[in-house]
Structure 1
């Protein structure tokens, strides 16, 4: 079956969608928000919350993002003061609920990468023996020369991991074969530190996840969240449109969102990203500075603008979900999501490598892991470049 894409008969063409279309979309998203909130309360939200509560939290985030995005894109058609008050509150809800899931998936990503890089049995490397070894590293078992070696690894920004011995991913899956595996001695050195590195990451990220879970529970029970829920309940029945919205066309505002995305993508180094082995993401990731390198920020911004564009298309299509699914946009968005995940995972590996008094083998494993995730950043950029070029080619042939 042929795939459907954004054509002249899509949501930006045909009869002009007006403020009534926007109002219907916002009411539908507000209803989804309230339904997800009720489900979250019914399924339990304690430390051992069910899978239903996890899915309810995701639904809360999805509806909050869509409402906030619509307020951003179509603000000229809505009450300005109301929009300015609601947008940061919805962003707070979405961001707070997202943290627990982010830490969980980040830990899974890093442990899987360690398992892949070292070729060791992950079950044996992340349980009692590894935890005991990591505790020994961080406590009395650490010698002065181990601490010096760790500091040297971190100060160099994992340069050892970025050099020839790094058994990282060679390229994205659609960019060619992987590099040959590292020599046995280098793989052995990595395996020695991988178990302790995995235990260290497990402890740090699980602690962060537990704190994020507690923060989310506190947020959902706070008066601030109750005030937001009350406003969303009002939105489900009454949308504060301006008088001009009744006859205004939504398409120019949706087109403006697309233009902002196009301008941001134009500023990206897509020519460099079009070569899977350019190593730009890895080289810039070797800085010993604890602040994330600014090279990632434009890509994160494009990810947000792409989301705004997608949600604008949904709003223009109306509340019944008639938006034409563009698989190229979905592929581009998935690539940018992988870019964000790999970038944050690399930062977590670097942060773990800065832990005081860890053994050189542990620091080496974390350096290799950091380099691997920076290669994943580069692979995601390549995948986005490929998806975006397909989008441009499709537009030019229409």
Structure 2
């Protein structure tokens, strides 16, 4: 695989460029922190407060990534102590946003798959549908021989999972005529079954992820008011005026360290199954996503690692004042989609493990899980295409 190295004819990039970049990011961190405190961050956080938290995360990520990539030109004790604290700040503030975006993604997917609104009005649901999730006992009658396997359906069994039929109340005396009219008006069996459970599945996901978001919001508020965060903010304030460089920074060329970050990324990409990902609809991500293990499938871990290395490479280019190529940005967007879809699939599988849910609800969650695993596959395909364009453009 071709690797793009920095232009060897260009002059060396001194450590002062890194110092200026770190000062700028530290200033952004402090500005975002002041805005966050001014706008408030209570239970009903404003849009400005949300944007301030996002800016805090961005600055913390960039400072931490720069400390990792350019560690040889920085004071080792200071950088080693600073990096995990900045990662803690960024990770803690990201939890609430992750829960919100995951819920939106899953509800939109349910709406697309079922062709019905995620939350229909009470009383318009199909008779026989289950009511609620723990404690949900009523279920639509399924055809003989079909059992309910919530865990298996939630693990992405999709159409292969148990398919309870939608319950239909027949009030007319002539059952044959009524059945003919119902066949003409009703959607296809799979879509009908999915519509029955989609509303309950959406309500279950909404309860679980809203609770997780509330807890993440409380955790973030506690973190921002803790002595640990105040210590980090004090160090960032010092960084805004003084960057602790090592004695070796005098004659260092930052291009060499940035090129090392690029090589680590290329090696990680080379270990991915790009040949398989380069074929659309290969179902590899779906097949490996059917594991009954509740933990995230290890197949996704190498792709998540590449996403982190790609981010490190992009931030290193920012330090060198070299903008990333369009192919690199497209590859990063594809990996973001991959991360979001894999986490959304895991959330659907976790919801399907809720005790005492109805078969229709479990079926809807199983189809949703399979849909998100297909999104994982599509994101891998998009990354393979973007990365191929990126490497071809550097030959």
TM range (shorter): 0.7 to 0.9
Residues 267-311 of structure 1, C-alpha deviation per residue, up to 9 Å, x if partnerless?
Answer: 000000001111000000011110111000000000000000000
1:369 corresponds to 2:368: yes
- For residues 180-234 of structure 1, the C-alpha deviation after alignment (integer angstroms, 9 at most, x for no partner) is xx97111000000000000000000000000000000000000000000000000
List alignment gaps of at least 5 residues for structure 2.
164-185
Cα deviation for residue 164 of structure 1 reads: 10
In structure 1, how many angstroms separate the alpha carbons of the residues matched to 2:39 and 2:130?
Answer: 37
Cα shift readout 1:98-143 (whole Å, capped 9, x = no counterpart): 0000000000000000000000123527x8978xx77544226347
Q: How far does the alpha carbon of each residue in 1:335-354 deviate from its partner, in whole angstroms, 9 at most, with x for none?
A: 00000000000000000000
Structure showing greater radius of gyration is: 2
Q: Is contact 1:136-1:142 (8 Å) kept?
A: no
TM-score calculated relative to the size of structure 1: 0.86
Residue 154 to residue 231, structure 1, CA distance change in 2 (3 Å): same
Aligned to 1:108: 104
Partner of residue 179, structure 2: none
**Which structure 1 segments of 5+ residues have no match?**
1-5, 167-181, 318-322
- In the alignment, the residues of structure 2 paired with residue 200 and residue 38 of structure 1 have an alpha-carbon distance, to the nearest angstrom, of 37
Equivalence for 2:137: 141
CA distance in 2, matches of 1:74, 1:390: 28
| Counterpart-to-counterpart distance in 1, 2:277 and 2:4 | 28
- Partners of 2:130 and 2:106 lie apart in 1 by 16
Query: Which portions of structure 1, spanning 4 or more consecutive aligned residues, are displaced by more than 3 angstroms?
Result: 10-13, 127-130, 133-137, 140-143, 155-160, 162-166
Shift of 1:389: 0.4
Tell me the SS of whatever aligns to 2:364: helix
Which residue number corresponds to residue 68 of structure 1? Answer: 64
> RMSD of the alignment, in Å?
2.6
Kept after mapping to 2: 8 A contact 1:27/1:236: yes
TM-score, normalization: structure 2?
0.87
> In the alignment, does 2:16 pair up with 1:17?
no
Give distance in 2, aligned partners of 1:157 and 1:186.
16
- Counterpart-to-counterpart distance in 1, 2:266 and 2:84: 25
1:42 corresponds in structure 2 to: 38
Paired residue for 1:58? 54
1:138-217 mapped onto 2 (5 Å cutoff): 138-139=134-135, 141-142=137-138, 149-150=147-148, 152-155=149-152, 158=155, 160-161=157-158, 163=160, 184-217=188-221
Give the distance between the partners of 1:128 and 1:86, measured in 2 at CA: 56
